[in-house]
Amino acid sequence: MIAWTKNTKLYKTSFLISVIILLFLVKVVFYVNGSELNGDLSFSLSRDFGISFGNYRQGTFTLTGEGVESIVKLTVFFNDVNVYNVSGNPFSWTFNTDDYQDGATTILLKGWTLNDQEYQISESVVFLSSVTGIQLTIIILVVVALLIIIKYGRRIKRRIVAKKPLDFDSH
């Protein structure tokens, strides 16, 4: 018989997994901060709806970028493909990962000044398909269910066994 105390490995593991799943299920804003190449341009990627776990992304996100005041044009590239242009600084753009190719994606933000001086910043993420996102969600829910059964299974079984079965024949 396993004693369920705060010192057992099973307790610590289930607690850690529960916290991770709670963060996954609750809308928590995760950011991807671009690596600053020159300190004059930056962006962040925040989750509006979907999955954001480590570098893995699926769903709707808002990309916010800004640079020094002299930058007048900003362009977003996903894997060297121009996906968004804006005149102005700063900017905010909402997109859905389902509209782009699944897999490893390099997000590149380029900015230009009036005299064509170029600034850039990039970060790598992984876009997941909707199907993969749903599969990941199901796996996490199954793990949570198993942890609940491991922790409370004996208590639930005792309650079920202790109750008398329903007798449908007697009135």
- For 89-123, the pLDDT digits (tens) are 888 999 999 999 999 999 999 988 888 888 888 88
Helices and strands in the chain, H and E counts: 2, 9
Look-up of token digits 């600034």: 119
Look-up of token digits 């994606």: 105
- DSSP helix/strand/coil, 37: coil
pLDDT at site 106: 93
Full-prediction pTM beyond 0.75? Answer: no
The residue among 144 and 15 whose pLDDT is bigger is 144
Quote the CA–CA distance of 74 and 90 in Å, as a whole number: 9
pLDDT above 60 (res 28): no
Contact 127, 103 (CB under 8 A): yes
- DSSP helix/strand/coil, 126: strand
Look-up of token digits 């396993």: 2
- DSSP helix/strand/coil, 57: strand
- The residues spanned by each domain of the chain are 9-24+133-162, 29-129
Q: What percent of the chain has pLDDT over 70?
A: 69
Q: Would strands 35-36 and 71-78 be described as parallel, antiparallel, or unpaired?
A: unpaired
DSSP bridge partners of 33: 44
Query: Residue 1: pLDDT band by 50, 70, 90 thresholds?
Result: very low
Superfamily of domain 29-129: Immunoglobulins (2.60.40.10)
What number is the average pLDDT over the span 13-39? 55
Burial string for 99-136 (b: 16+ CB within 10 Å, else e) reads: eeeeeebebbbbbbbeeeeebbbebebbbbeeeebeeb
